[in-house]
Amino acid sequence: MNYTFTIFIPTYNRAHLLPRALASIEAQTFRDFETVIVDDGSTDNTEALIRDWQARADFELVYFKQPNQGKYAAQNAGVAAARGWFFLLLDSDDRLLPDTLERILRHWESIPESKRPRYAGVEGLVESMDGRRVLTTPYPSNPCDISYLDLYYRLGIGGDKKHAIRTEILRRFPYPLFPGELNSRDSITWNRIAHEYIFRCVNESVQQVEYQPDGLTSNRFRIRMTSPRGFQLFFQEEITLHRAWLARKQLRRSTIEFIRFSLHIGLGPWAQGKQVDYDPLWLLLLPMGYIRWWVDLYRLRFKGGNIRNRAVIHN
C-alpha cells in the first residue's frame, strides 16, 4: 500500500456536486491519501470536470469510467484499484470535515497494537451540511468497540454511519453482483464482516451529508424491484447465517421478505425450502410472503408503469 487512506467516490451524473466533495478532500489536514473516482457511466460533464481537477490538484486523483453497473459494482472496482491501507467511501453529494482523516487515524492508533487485527476500522456519525444537526443515533458509549451485527440487531442502533475500513478486508468481502441489477444493500457486506471483525465506533461526525431526491435513500421501492436477486440473497443470509442475532419479530419480517423476493426471481416453495432447510417458520409465513409479492405486482402494474426498465440513479 502506497498511502494510509484511499478516499473513494462512486458517481453517476453528479458533476454539479463533485466540486464540493473534492474541495473537502483538498482541505484535509492529513495528507497521506489518494482519491479514486469510479464514474458509473455518467452522461454529464463529469469526466471533463475530473480531468480539470487532476491537472491542478495537489493530491493523487485516479479516475476510472465504466458502463453503468450500479454503486456496488463501482465500489468493487474502487477497492480493487485502491492503494491505501484504509478505504473511505465518500458519496458524491457529501463532504468530509477538514480533520476527518486525522481524527480517524488517531482513533485507530488508540487501539492497542496487539488487538488491531480484530478491528475492521473506525466508524463515526454524520451531520447536516450546516453542521448543526447530527443525523444518526449515537453509539451507547464513546468509544464503542462492537460488530455491526451486535450494534444493529441487538442494540437497535441503525442509521447512516461512515467509516474507514481496512482495504484488505473489503477485498475479502466484495459486494455480490447480479447481471442486470444495479443495487444491493450495504449491510449484506457488513453482516458478513461482523462474524470476524469489530469496529471502533466514536460519537463524532466524520462526514456532512445531503440526501438527494434522486438518491438511493429516496427510491427504495424502485431499487428493490429492479434488484430482486440482491435483496433475496440479503434476506436469505439474514435468516440463515445471521439468525442468532435476530429477535423474533425481525426474524418473522425477514422471512416474509425472503419469500417475497424469492417469488420475484421465480423461486417457488420447493426451491425456497431448500435454501432455508425447510424451516417451520418459513412454512408458516408462506401465505404472508405471497401477499407481499401480490401487492408488489399490483403496484408494478397499476402504479409503477415500466419501473423495471428505469435507470436507477445512485449517490
Write out pLDDT tens, residues 243-258: 999 999 999 999 999 9
Q: What is the DSSP letter of 134?
A: B
Phi, psi at residue 107, to the nearest 5°? -70, -35
| DSSP secondary structure letter of residue 186 | H
Residue 80 within a domain: yes
Are residues 101 and 233 both part of a single domain? no
Give a yes or no: residue 11 inside a domain: yes
Quote the domain boundaries for residue 283. 218-309
233 and 114 in a single domain? The answer is no
Residue type, 302: F
- pLDDT (0 to 100) of residue 215: 55
Whether the per-residue pLDDT at 119 is higher than 70: the answer is yes
Last residue of a domain, one of 181, 210, 239: 210
Q: What is the pLDDT of residue 158?
A: 87
Question: What was the pLDDT predicted at 301?
Answer: 87
Q: How much is the average pLDDT of 236-244?
A: 97
Q: Do residues 174 and 297 both lie within one domain?
A: no
Q: Do residues 147 and 259 share a domain? A: no
Share of the chain above pLDDT 70, in %: 94
pLDDT of 315 > 50? The answer is: no
In tens, the pLDDT along 193-230 reads 999 999 999 999 999 998 876 555 547 888 899 999 99
CA distances for 127 relative to 89, 138, 201, angstroms: 16, 11, 15
> 142 and 278 share a domain?
no
In a domain, 232, yes or no: yes
Residues 224 and 80 in one domain: no
pLDDT at 277: 96
Q: What is the mean pLDDT of residues 86-105?
A: 96
In this predicted model, which residue has the larger pLDDT, 304 or 51? Answer: 51
* Residue 216: per-residue pLDDT: 52
Do 274 and 176 share a structural domain?
no
CATH of the domain at 46: 3.90.550.10
In this structure, are 27 and 174 located in the same domain?
yes
Closest CA to 214 of 125, 93, 130: 93
Task: Please name which of 72, 91, 87, 79 lies closest in space to residue 175, comparing C-alpha atoms.
Answer: 72
Cα(99)–Cα(80) distance, rounded to whole angstroms?
A: 26
pLDDT bin (cut points 50, 70, 90) of residue 309 is: very low
Are 155 and 89 in the same domain? yes
Q: What is the reported pLDDT for 220?
A: 80
5: which 3 cell numbers?
487512506
Q: Name the domain count of the chain.
A: 2
Domain stops at, among 178, 210, 242: 210
N-to-C CA span, the chain: 27
Q: Which residue has the higher pLDDT, 311 or 138?
A: 138
* pLDDT of res. 313: 41
The verdict on 163 and 69 lying in the same domain is yes
> Is 60 exceeded by the pLDDT of residue 12?
yes
Q: 180 near 310, Cβ under 8 Å?
A: no
Nearest to 155 by CA among 140, 141, 135, 142: 140
Domain-ending residue, one of 154, 182, 210: 210
187: left (phi > 0), else alpha (psi -120 to 50), else beta? alpha
